[in-house]
Amino acid sequence: MPSRGSIALLPRTRRGLVLFWAALIAMSLALQYVTAMAPQRALATQVECQSFAIQTTDVNGDAVNKNQFESKEDVYLNGGPGPSGTLTPGTTIYYQVQEPDGTPLDEIRSTTVKADSSFRVQLAPFDTTSNSGGEYKVVASTLADLSAGACTKSDNFKVPPTGYLKIVNEVDGGEVSGDFKFHVDCGDGGTFDVTVTFPDPGSVTIDDIPAGSVCDVTETGNPDAPAGFHWGNPTVTDNPATIEADKTVWVHFTNHLIQDNGSLKVTKVVTGGTSDATFTIHVDCGQAFTDDVTLTAGQSFTKDDLPAGTECTVTEPSQPAAPDGFKWNDAQISGSPATIEADDTASVTVTNPLEALPPPNTPALTIEKSNNAPIVNTLPTADEGDTVTYTLDYDLTDGPVHNGVITDVLPVGVTYVSGSASSNAEFTFQSYDSGTRTLTWTATEVTADGSVTYQATVDEGATELAQPLENTASIVSDETEKDSDISDVFVAPPPQAETSVPNTAPPTDTFGSTDSAAPGASMLLILLALAGIALAVMFVAPTPASIRKRMR
C-alpha cells in the first residue's frame, strides 16, 4: 500500500502533465494562426501602397516622358500623384537605374516627396548599359527593396552609347613640373576644361562622351618655363578625335622647352697704323663653345646659339710680327668676360695699338715698367703692407745717347723703401724726393740696353684710394724725346674680421669647487662612516641571552 505522502504526490504529477500538453497545443495553434495571417497582412500592406506615376523628364521638369536623352546628365525622374491616389508629402521614394533586364547599374537611392505631392531627381551618375541601343530602365518604389507591386513603377529611356577621350601630355627639351590646361570642344557632345598634371599622372580621361562626337582639343595654359628656357609651339597628334562607343581614343600633346640663346661677337681693331697680319684669339665659353679663331684688322667673328647665362672670356695669347717701322703695344680687350643674354649679342673688341719706331739711324730710347705683384684677374694685385718690386727696362736703338735721365713718380698709396733702388754700369741712382715722390737715375752716356729696380711698400688705407694705383716711369736723353710707361697695382681690400664667438673650453674641476664633487671620493667617505657606526653598535649593544648561553 502506498504511503500517505505518495498518495499526495500522484495528483500533482498528473496536473503538471496536463498543463504541459495544454501549453504545447496552444503554441501550435498560435503558429498556425500566424502562418495563416501572413498573406492577409502582406495583402493589406499592398493594398495600403500609395498610388503614383513616374516619367523621365529634363532638368526643368517640363518634358513629359522624354525617353530620348543626349547624355546621362540630362536624365531626370519626375513623379507625383497617380490617377487614383495621392503621395503623402514627406514619403520616401526609392529609385534605381537598371539594365532593361533588371540588372542594377547603380545603388538604390532615395528622395523625399515634396509638399505638392511630387518629386524630381537627377539619375546620374550610373553605369553604362550593355544594351546596344543605349536603353535603360528606372524603377521607383515606396518600398526600400523595390519590390514589385502597386508600390513600384518603372520607365524606360535611352542615352546614346558613349566613349572616352584621353589627353596625354609630354615635355621634351628640359625638365619641368606643373599643370597643363586644355579646352575640349565635342560639339553636341559637350565642352570640357581639364587639367593634366605633369609628370604624374601626365594624362586625364573624360568619360561618357556620346559616340560619334568629334572632339577638338586645344592647350590653354602651361606652367612657367624653367630659367633660361621658353615654351615653343606644342606638337599635337590624333586631334581632333572621333569618340567610339565603349572605347578610349587618345590625343597626344608634346610641349617643347626651348633654350634661351644669344650670340657673341668678337671684333679685331688695329690702331696707330695698318697691318694685314692674322691674329689668333682664344674664346672660352665653357662647355657651350671653346676654340681659337683667327681675325685680321677690321674682321669680326660671331658665335650664335649660346645658352643664355653663359660667360665667355676672350684673350689674345700672342701677337704677330709688327709692320716695319712699328712695334705692338699691349692688346686692349674690352667687353670680356661677356655674359650671354637671350636674343641679344654680346660684343668683345680686341684692339692692338701700333707705335711708330724712330727712323733708321736715329737713336731711340724707350722704357718698359713692370712689377712682381701676383696677377689676379689679369691685374697685378697686392695687399696693404705688401712690398712690391718695380723693374724699369730700357731699350736703346742706334745709340749711343747722352745725358740719360730716368724718373719714376710714385702714386699716393705706396712708399719707397729707402736704399732699395739699384744702379747699373751706366745709370746711377741719385735720390728720392719725398715731396714730389720722384726717384731719379742719371747716365752720362747710354750705350746699351739695361734695367734698374726699386721696392715700394703698399700703405695702410691704400684700398680707400681709386684703383688701380698707377705708377709712371719715364726716360729721356739729349738725342731722344721722353718715353713713358705705366705699371699698375690693384690693392685688394683686407679680409673682414672674424665675427663668430670662439669656443669656450669646458670648466675644469679644482680643489674647493662647489659646482660638483668627485663621486668616487664621496662614496668612500660614506662607506667609512657606515663601518664606524656598525662597530660602535657592536660594542655598545648588549649580547642576547641565547647567544650568551651558547658562549658559556
**SS3 state at 418:** coil
Is the model's pLDDT at 19 over the cut of 90?
A: no
Rounded mean pLDDT of 229-245?
94
Residue 16 CB coordination number (10 Å): 10
Q: What's this model's pTM, rounded to 2 decimal places? A: 0.42
Q: Domain 52-158 - what CATH class?
A: mainly beta
Q: Domain 364-491 - what CATH class?
A: mainly beta
Is the model's pLDDT at 484 over the cut of 80?
A: yes
pLDDT value of position 64: 82
> In the 8-state DSSP scheme, what is residue 525?
H
Burial, 406: exposed, middle or buried (Cβ in 10 Å; 0-12, 13-18, 19+)?
buried
Residue 471 CB coordination number (10 Å): 21
pLDDT value of position 495: 67
Rounded mean pLDDT of 69-94?
81
**Conformational region of residue 173, where left means phi above 0, alpha means psi within -120 to 50, and beta covers everything else:** left
Residue indicated by cell numbers 487614383: 84
- Cα–Cα distance between 212 and 187 in angstroms, integer? 10
pLDDT in tens, 21-59: 456 665 655 555 444 444 434 333 333 577 788 899 999
Is the model's pLDDT at 549 over the cut of 50?
A: no
Are 52-158 and 261-356 equal in CATH topology? yes
pLDDT classification of 440: cutoffs 50, 70, 90: very high
Is the model's pLDDT at 512 over the cut of 50?
A: no
pLDDT classification of 9: cutoffs 50, 70, 90: very low
Q: Which of 296, 297, 265 is nearest to 283 (CA)?
A: 265
* 226: amino acid identity, one letter: P
Q: Are strands 401-409 and 469-476 parallel, antiparallel or unpaired?
A: antiparallel
pLDDT value of position 547: 36
Domain ranges of the chain: 1-42, 52-158, 162-259, 261-356, 364-491
Considering only residues 415 and 494, tell me which one the structure prediction assigns the higher pLDDT. 415
Please enumerate in sequence order all residues whose Cβ is within 8 A of that of 225, keeping only pairs 6 or more positions apart, or say none: 174, 176, 231, 257
All three cell numbers of 122, joined, read 537627377
pLDDT in tens, 216-233: 999 999 999 998 899 999
Is the model's pLDDT at 546 over the cut of 50?
A: no
The answer to whether the CB of 240 falls within 8 A of the CB of 215 is yes
pLDDT in tens, 256-309: 999 999 999 999 999 999 999 999 999 999 999 999 999 999 999 999 999 999
Topology at the third CATH level for domain 261-356:
Immunoglobulin-like (2.60.40)
Enter the CATH code of domain 162-259. 2.60.40
pLDDT value of position 530: 63
- Cα–Cα distance between 407 and 449 in angstroms, integer? 17
Through-space distance between the first and last CA atoms of the chain, rounded to whole angstroms = 89
Is the model's pLDDT at 359 over the cut of 90?
A: no
> In the 8-state DSSP scheme, what is residue 31?
H
